[in-house]
Amino acid sequence: MATVVQYPARSGRNSELTLTLLAIALGVGGYLSVMAFHPEAPALWYWHCAGIAFSGLVLHLALRILAPFADPVIMPIALALNGIGLAMISRLDLEYMRMNTPASLAQISGDKQLIMTLVAAGGALTILVCFRDHRFFRKFAWAGLILGILLMMATLIPGLGVKSYGAYISIRILGQSIQPNEFAKLCLAIFFAGYLEYRRDSLAIAGKKILFLQLPRWRDFLPLLVAWLASLALLVAQKDLGVALLMFTIFVAVLYVATDRPSWIIFGALLMVPLAVLAYTMFSHVKERVSNWLDAFNPAVIDRPGGSYQLVNGLFGIASGGLSGNGWGRGQAWLTALANSDFIVSALTEELGLTGMLAIFLLYLILVQRGLRTAMGVRDGFGKLLATAISFGIGAQLFIVVGGITRLIPSTGLTTPFVAAGGASLFANWIGIAILLRISDSARRPRPAPVTLDAKSQPGQNNGTSGTNSAVEAILGAPTEVVNR
């Protein structure tokens, strides 16, 4: 008799606990490093450290119960990035309070970021409690499209939308500013994943082929194209071209994964050129950002309103950090405008150096890699596409942000995921992590126990096994063991 034995799968929760403690140590260590150089640091910071520890341990305990086979690396990395960002934001608050000007005091956001960290962790916990199967979101693919468009339209409503730095990207509710586009990205990712799972075969093989480009049938591609163009048009109307660029890259990436056609990448790259030219000709602030990018060190460009002063300051901050940095709490990152949000990467590089920043980039790389690994391991098409959209979105957003700060591409105004100040961005990113954890739990969950094959079974006998058991046994040979990793 040949028996296939399946040992209990490793859940990885003990490894996750170790990584969670290390992630907490990174955030708390950042606070302690700043406090070593700044004795005037408020005692409230100890509550910040407790908040980081509380969020991580609660999420770990929840995963042990609600998603025992979820990837053990994803949550600790997100927590580590969140803690590092919170420590840097609080460190900059010290300088803003010392400057004691209305503009600087308006940038104090450490306490708000702590509150949003707890709220975001609670949101992630809610997702894990309420949704035990990621395929539940597939039922609301079209609802996700409608909700995403409504969220983006909300910023254009007079009296509700708020103009900030030339773009309508926020709404004000009960005195609080919220960026609904952060949540619209998740809604549109659910729509893209649901629709492409349903139409993936038609989009891949049913159309005409011109040279090396595989074109889809219009009736398959038109609904997707209309939804994407409507979203893009709303983002252009808001002048939020950073999110528009991010949504474009996510759309092309998910379409490529769904169809396995490299022609979509070529088509997307070719389409990006006329869209970029159109944005440059239509919007004055896009022209300013391109000018800041190409001629950043020109004194006339630096001194003009909306010029490259912020970009140049950020570059000098990165340069002053060198290889090992000035030390956490010993830089002058506050000299750069919006150092706690748009330019927090330059602030971290100035104080932690190139070595420290590369270590943070490595955390992002591992997070994206584990997300894409989850996409490869899950067994349903919807989960693959949704995990790809979330993971690739985090990586693409980081590339766009860092590219703008280092003058690789024009600045777009996007925020660094998990690290930069911004409650809506932090909350939406933690919701994405919760969905990714739910998908990874399904991907790593062991399959049902196999049957036992009886060598005495004969073809045609009605003994609970099929007549092909002898052939299967011949293939299996001696008793084997299968271990689920």
Does a structural domain hold residue 475? no
SS3 447: coil
Mean pLDDT of 411-431: 92
Q: What is the pLDDT of residues 465-481, one digit of tens each?
A: 444 343 334 333 444 33
Kindly compute the dihedral angle of the four CA atoms of residues 73, 415, 276, 399, in this order, to the nearest 10 degrees.
-40
Does a structural domain hold residue 317? yes
Does a structural domain hold residue 477? no
CA distance 352 to 327: 6
CA distance 244 to 362: 26
Does a structural domain hold residue 459? no
Does a structural domain hold residue 92? yes
- Show the tokens assigned to 142: 């079209």
Cβ distance 33 to 327 under 8 Å? yes
DSSP string covering 157-198, please? STTTEEEETTEEEEEEETTEEE-THHHHHHHHHHHHHHHHHH
Question: Which residues is 416 bridged to in the sheet?
Answer: none
Q: What is the pTM of this model?
A: 0.87
Q: What is the pLDDT of residues 276-298, one digit of tens each?
A: 787 788 777 778 888 989 999 99
Cβ partners under 8 Å of residue 106, min gap 6: none
Phi and psi at residue 6, to the nearest 5°: -115, 110
Instruction: For the chain, give the longest Cα–Cα distance.
Output: 91
Per-residue pLDDT, 216: 64
Cβ distance 474 to 428 under 8 Å? no
- Structural domain tally of the chain? 1
Share of residues in the chain with pLDDT > 90 (%)? 47
Q: Kind of pairing, strands 213-214 and 209-210?
A: antiparallel
Cβ partners under 8 Å of residue 229, min gap 6: none
Does a structural domain hold residue 268? yes
Mean pLDDT of 3-19: 75
Per-residue pLDDT, 448: 66
Does a structural domain hold residue 484? no
Q: Buried b vs exposed e over 368-392: b needs ≥16 C-beta within 10 Å?
A: bebbbbbbebbebbbbbbbbbbbbb
Cβ partners under 8 Å of residue 445, min gap 6: 9, 69
Query: With 80 as the cut, is the pLDDT of residue 43 above it?
Result: yes
Per-residue pLDDT, 480: 38
Does a structural domain hold residue 169? yes
SS3 74: helix
Q: Classify residue 134 by its DSSP letter.
A: G
Question: In which domain, by residue range, is 302 found?
Answer: 13-38+45-444
Per-residue pLDDT, 123: 96
Count of CB atoms situated within 10 Å of the CB of 93: 24
Query: With 90 as the cut, is the pLDDT of residue 399 above it?
Result: yes
